[in-house]
Amino acid sequence: MNNIVAIVGRPNVGKSTFFNRLIQRREAIVDSVSGVTRDRNYGKSEWNGKEFSVIDTGGYIKGSDDIFEAEIRRQVELAIDEADAIIFVVDVEEGITPMDDEVAKLLRKVTKPVLLVVNKVDNAMREKDAVEFYNLGLGEYYSISGMSGSGTGELLDKLVEVLPEMPEVTEEVEPLPRFCVVGRPNAGKSSFINALIGEDRFVVTDIAGTTRDAIDTKYNRFGFEFNLVDTAGIRRKAKVKEDLEFYSVMRSVRAIEHSDVCLLVIDATRGFEGQDQSIFWLAEKNRKGVVILVNKWDLVEKDTMSTRDYERKIREELQPFTDVPILFISALTKQRLLKALETAVEVYENRKQRISTSKFNELMLPIIEATPPPALKGKYVKIKYCMQLPTPTPQFVFFANLPQYVKDPYKRFIENKLREQYNFSGVPIDIYFRQK
C-alpha cells in the first residue's frame, strides 16, 4: 500500500512543475503505454526505495488566476482529510500573500506531516528572501527550484522520513480477489453495493480496511467469494461539496491501488464524463482490471439510445484500451447484478493467467513473420523470441535485434493480436521490446 502525498498551494506557484519533476523518474517506466498520460494530476513517485502516490490538487482547479479562494480552501481541507502528508508550495518571487496565510492557518491545526516548500529559489539573493516564510508559522521550510530541481533531494529525504508506516497487508493462503466499486458521486455506487449485499448486509465478516478509508466487506453469496472494497459511503464530510472532481479522484486513488479489479459505476443518464474518464485512466495506470457498469439503465429512453450506440461512444473515449467489458445494469431493479460479479471474476482470472513460453512463441512468431515491424533507415527488425514476464500483471517481452526501431503503432498491432488469441478482456497489458 502506498502513502498519498498531496501538493497544495495557490495557483501559479509552480505546483505542476514540481509534481512533474516528482513523477518523471517513474513516469518513463510506468507509462511506457503508447504515450497515454492523460491524467496529469496523479502519479507515483519513489525515493530511497519508498514508493508513494502524488496528487497535484492545482490541476483540478479549472479557471483563471482570480479563482475563488473558497475553491482552494476546499481543496486544502480535502487534502488534509485524505492525504498522509501535505506539501505546501509558495512562491519566493511574490512573498507571503493573503491566500498563503489562509492556507497556512488551515495547515497549522493539522497533526499530519506538513512540509513547507518555497519554490523558484534559484540564486543566493532569493535564498535570503525565503526567510520571510518563517512567518507562516509552519516551522522549517525547504527552498527548491522546481525548474532546475535544486533542493528537491533534501525535501524528498525529509518526506520519506515523515511518511507514516503503512500496515503490511497480510495475505491469506490464497488471497481473495479484491474488487473495488468506484465512480463519480451520485452514480449509484452505494445502491449497487447495497443491492449486492442486501440491505441486511449478508456479510461474513466486516474487516476494518487496512486504509483509513476503504472498508473491506467479505462477500460470500451466489457462489462468489471476494473482498469488496467499498469507497461509497465512507467518512462523508458535511463540509465537502461532492461536486468536486478532485474529491472522487482522491477518494478512488486509495481504493484502486488497493484492489485487483475496479467496477467503475457510471450514470447512464449523464454519459461517460470527464470524471469517469479520470477514474478509468487511474485504474489503467495502476494496471488494474476494469469493468464498466452503466447504472440507471432503466431510466434511459431506449428509442433514443440503444445499448450498441451507447457502448460505441464509451469505447471511443477509451482509445486505445478498448478491450473492456461494458455492462448495462440497474441497482434499483437489480438488473444484471450477478452478471456484473461474474464479469469481475472473469477479469480477475484474465489478469492472473500465465501463458507458457513455448505456446506463446508458437503462436506469436508466425504472426510477426507474416507482418514484421516496418524497416527503418533500411534496417530490418527481426524478432526471434518472446515470453511472458513473471510479474503480477500481464507483461510480455519480445527480443529483437533493433528494439529501438519498434514504434508505438507496431506495439499496438502486437497487443491487438495478443488480445485476439488470448482473453485479456478488461486487463491492461504491457509490451516491451528488448535487445536479444
Please tell me whether 234 is known to bind a ligand. Answer: yes
187 is in an annotated binding site: yes
Annotated binding-site residue? 57 = yes
240 CB-near residues (< 8 Å, 6+ apart): 74, 77, 78, 81, 247
What would the grid cell of residue 232 be? Answer: 461509497
Cβ–Cβ < 8 Å for 426, 325 = yes
> Known binder of ligand: residue 113?
no
- Give the integer Cα–Cα distance in Å for 257 and 424: 20
Bridge partners for 89 per DSSP = 117
The reply, when asked if residue 190 is annotated as ligand binding, is: yes
Is 205 annotated in a binding site? The answer is no
Whole-angstrom distance between the N-terminal and C-terminal Cα of the chain?
35
Whether residue 186 is annotated as binding a ligand: the answer is yes
Q: In what order do the strands lie in the sheet with 85-91?
A: 42-47, 50-56, 3-8, 85-91, 114-119, 141-143
141 appears as a binding residue in the annotation:
no
Known binding residue 15? Answer is yes
237 annotated as ligand-binding: no
- The continuous run of DSSP H or E covering 327 comes out as strand 326-328
Q: Give the cell for residue 103.
A: 492556507
Q: Cα-atom radius of gyration of the chain, to the nearest Å?
A: 24
Q: Which residue has the cell 485487483?
A: 260
Dist. CA 158–CA 162, nearest whole Å? 6
Q: How many helices and strands in the chain, by DSSP H and E?
A: 12, 16
Closest by alpha carbon to 34, among 346, 432, 303, 358? 432
Residue 243 is assigned to a ligand binding site: no
SS3 letters for 356-368?
CHHHHHHHHHHHH
State the Cα–Cα distance between residues 73 and 66, nearest whole angstrom. Answer: 14
Residue with cell 464498466: 292
The annotation status of 189 as a binding-site residue, yes or no, is: yes
Sign of CA dihedral 417, 349, 388, 49: positive
60 among annotated binding-site residues:
yes
Task: Give the Cα separation of 394 and 386 in Å (integer).
Answer: 13
Taking the C-alpha atoms of residue 75 and residue 403, their distance in angstroms, rounded to an integer, is: 44
300 is known to lie in a ligand binding site? no
Q: Is 227 annotated as a binding residue?
A: no
Query: Is 120 annotated as belonging to a binding site?
Result: yes
Length of the chain: 436
- In angstroms, the CA 220 to CA 197 distance is 9
11 is in an annotated binding site: yes
Cβ-based burial of 205 (10 A; exposed 0-12, middle 13-18, buried ≥19): exposed
DSSP string, 58-87: GGG--S-TT--HHHHHHHHHHHHHH-SEEE
259 is in an annotated binding site: no
Is 295 known as a binding-site position?
Answer: yes
Determine whether the annotation assigns residue 297 to a binding site: yes
According to the annotation, is 213 in a ligand binding site? no
Q: Is 188 annotated as a binding residue?
A: yes
Which residues fall in the annotated binding site?
9-16, 56-60, 119-122, 183-190, 230-234, 295-298
In the annotated binding site for GTP, the residues are 9-16, 56-60, 119-122, 183-190, 230-234, 295-298
